[in-house]
Every structure is written in structure tokens, then in C-alpha cells.
Amino acid sequence: VVEDLSARGPIDDELTPASLQSIRDGAWWALVTVTTVGYGDAVPHTSAGRAVAAVAMFTGVVGISMSFSIISQEMSNVRHGERSPKTTSHSENDLSGGGTAPL
């Protein structure tokens, strides 16, 4: 079922949904959404709220995916004995950085 957004009243009429009355409630909703738990105790009822929810959901999915990707890559590097570029140390006397200086 597709909702006709133009038939709804102005968003101003629905700015304060009953389930999100305080910053604390909003923070709880954001935590539940970003961690992808989704209890359903606090849900957005307005178009603007749903847009914010969509951004929070996308951010949660991307954040979790990136975290697992980085962790698994580092674990793979450790398992195969490869050093991460961040942990590679240079000699104290070697100031060249391994490259050539522009003229």
C-alpha cells in the first residue's frame, strides 16, 4: 500500500509523535535503530521522522559493515603474518620516508 503524502496534512501538525516526547526517548530510538535491534516501542509517525529513521538505519548498516570489514582484514593480516602499514616503523635515521623529494 502506497501512502499518498500529498493528501496528508502539513508536517507541522505531526511534529511531536506520542512515542518520542523527550531527547532521552529520541536517543533510545536512535540506539535501537542504529544497532538494528528494532524493538518497535518507539517509531516515527511523520514523513520527516521517517526520513531521519532511514538515514539512521543506513548509517547503522554502513557503520557495522565497515567495522566488521576492518576487523576481519586486520585479523587476516595477523593470521598471515602481514604487517599493517600503520605498524610499520622506519629507522630513526631514515628521514626520506622511502620516496623521492620533488625538486
User: What does the block give as the cell for 95?
Assistant: 628521514
pLDDT at site 13: 47
* Entry pTM: 0.46
Question: Burial of 49 by CB count in 10 Å (0-12 exposed, 13-18 middle, 19+ buried)?
Answer: buried
pLDDT at site 17: 54
Element (H, E) at 37: none
Q: Which domains does the chain have, with CATH numbers?
A: 19-79 (1.10.287.70)
pLDDT at site 68: 93
For residue range 41-92, what is the model confidence (pLDDT) as tens digits? 777 788 888 888 888 888 888 988 999 999 999 999 888 887 655 655 555 5
* Alpha-helix runs per DSSP H in the chain: 23-34, 47-79
Average pLDDT estimate for 95-99: 57
